[in-house]
A and B are shown apart, each in its own frame.
Chain A
């Protein structure tokens, strides 16, 4: 539907041809498509999320056995919003409720990884199959990563002395709100996120459009070595400082895959962007020993790298 409209606009009305048409057509089409779907998906996700909050998750994770707790925590990561600014109260609150360290980490890995912007962009740019693969393997990293951290007895690296609360937490239940309030809250949230990422999306799609129009199709395969052994780890390292720019980076990644970047490498890159965030590490450093943060990054990074290699291997 969009495609024809945009074709009409750039070819018939602007009279563009060749590469310039390719570039501008791609920019307009992709921007419209991404912004439209972003609004719809973020709205739906944030509407569903008005039912749950972190207090709800904490009450439901308390007293769960280890592996089951890890799985549950990773799944809860999908339905709760995450802001790295509340990483500290979240972390300490979980420990205070005697939720094991490993289970806490499962949540802490899954929640930012399955954030609404990443899911909306993946779905828009790569379709539901890749989105499902991303969420599925993201959950796996969160579950296994958290489980391994739990087995390593790292509690001594929590720098603050948290007094565990006695007894059970009250079951806080789902968040109570009227239908109208939920819609309003979801809409406010969507608008807020939209404002924050609009510029990044435009920038990302803009640079992507230039690459789309002017860089030869096999460029990455030819010069950057699409299937070099170091492609995946390099992508993961590059992804660490990019958390806040995910909205701009993902449209770029789509174009790079068209130019020969392997899908497994792209997948690792995007997972590293969302799961390994430098600002979050800086915040957690106030309450966790640097060694624990290092182990957390190493385990998650290792998992993500394995997934990248696996997919590059399968899809070849």
Chain B
């Protein structure tokens, strides 16, 4: 699965990125993690509060830093 973290480089966005990386390691399987910093690309996802989390092109969370467990759960659900 392709997991994208949307954020323009704020502290919260970096937190989410490391949470996602940890969650991917925990959940197992192969996932591609990408940080999207281009504001125009972020706009295309219709996200107005960063950080946003996108899984396979679908926005699953905006405006908050999830916990590792929450992200693991999301990865397994998708």
The answer to whether A and B assemble together is: yes
Interface of B is mostly: loop
Of B8, B10, B47, B64, the residue contacting A93 (CB under 8 A) is: B47
Q: Is the CB of B39 within 8 A of A54?
A: no
Residue of B with least CB distance to A50: B64
List of A residues within 8 angstroms of B39 by Cβ: 88-89, 92, 160, 287
A89 touches B46 (CB 8 A): no
Q: Which of A48-100 contact B (CB under 8 A)?
A: 53-55, 58, 81, 83, 85-86, 88-90, 92-94, 96
Minimum CB–CB distance for A191 against chain B, Å: 12
Contact B43 A54 (CB under 8 A): no
* Across-interface contacts of B13 in A (CB, < 8 A): 85
B-side contacts of A185, CB under 8 Å? 64
Binding site for A on B (CB under 8 A): 8, 10-13, 39-40, 42-43, 46-50, 62-64, 67
Name B46's contact: one of A81, A83, A93, A162 (CB within 8 Å).
A93
Tell me the nearest residue of chain A to B42, going by C-beta.
A89
Question: A-side interface residues toward B, CB under 8 Å?
Answer: 53-55, 58, 81, 83, 85-86, 88-90, 92-94, 96, 160, 162, 165, 169, 185, 188, 287
Distance (whole angstroms) from the CB of A286 to the closest CB of chain B? 9
Contact between chains at B43 and A53 (CB < 8 Å): no
For B67, what are the chain A residues with a Cβ–Cβ distance below 8 Å? 188
Could you say which residues of chain A place their CB within 8 Å of the CB of B64?
185
Cα distance A188–B42 when bound, in Å? Answer: 26
- Which 7 A-B pairs rank lowest in CB-CB distance, beginning with the nearest? A85-B10, A93-B48, A54-B49, A54-B48, A86-B50, A86-B49, A90-B48
- How near does chain A come to B1, taking the closest CB pair, in angstroms? 23
The closest CB in chain B to the CB of A81 belongs to B63
Contact, CB under 8 Å: B8 / A88: yes
Q: Is the CB of A89 within 8 A of B8?
A: yes
- Bound state CA distance, A88 and B50, in angstroms? 9
CB distance from B34 to the nearest CB of A (A): 17
Residue of A nearest to B50 (CB): A86
Establish whether residues A53 and B62, one from each chain, have CB atoms under 8 Å apart when the complex forms. yes
Q: Check if B62 sits within 8 Å of A55, measured CB to CB.
A: yes
A280–B64 CA distance with the chains assembled, in angstroms: 19
* A53-B46 in contact (CB<8A): no
Q: Does the CB pair B46–A169 fall under 8 Å?
A: yes
Most buried by B among A54, A58, A162: A54
Smallest beta-carbon distance B12→chain A, Å: 6
Provide a sorted-by-A list of 9 A–B residue pairs whose CB atoms are within 8 angstroms.
A53-B49, A53-B62, A53-B63, A55-B47, A88-B39, A89-B43, A90-B49, A92-B39, A160-B40
What residues of chain A lie closer than 8 Å to B62, measured between beta carbons? 53-55
